[in-house]
Amino acid sequence: MATRKVRITAHNGAHARPVAELARLAMAHDGRVIVRTAAGAEADLTSVLAVMDLALAEGDVVALEAADGPASEALLDALVEVLAPRSR
């Protein structure tokens, strides 16, 4: 699995809009995509409710994992941009 760690800088953390965007991106991927917290809790990124249950906040560090494939690195780049926008 391709993995990327990211510190969430999105204002208000991972609330409904960014989580919906994460799910949209993950659903387009041909393999499993998960988010794992520093405490070890994880959720499938295609499930908005599962990700919301993690209560990810601004400043949290999470690991994003995508099944290996030709688009996995590009997917991780897009996921990171949702959680830690460069424009901040």
Using the structure block, give the residue that is written with the tokens 């994880």. 42
Torsion angle (degrees, nearest 10) of CA 46, 48, 52, 58: 70
CATH architecture of 2-83: 2-Layer Sandwich (3.30)
Q: How many CB atoms lie within 10 A of CB 77?
A: 10
In this predicted structure, what is the pLDDT of residue 10?
86
d(CA 78, CA 40): 23
Distance CA 16, CA 24 (A): 12
**30-85 pLDDT, tens per residue?**
899 999 999 999 999 999 999 999 999 999 999 999 999 889 999 999 999 999 99
Tokens of 49: 């409710």
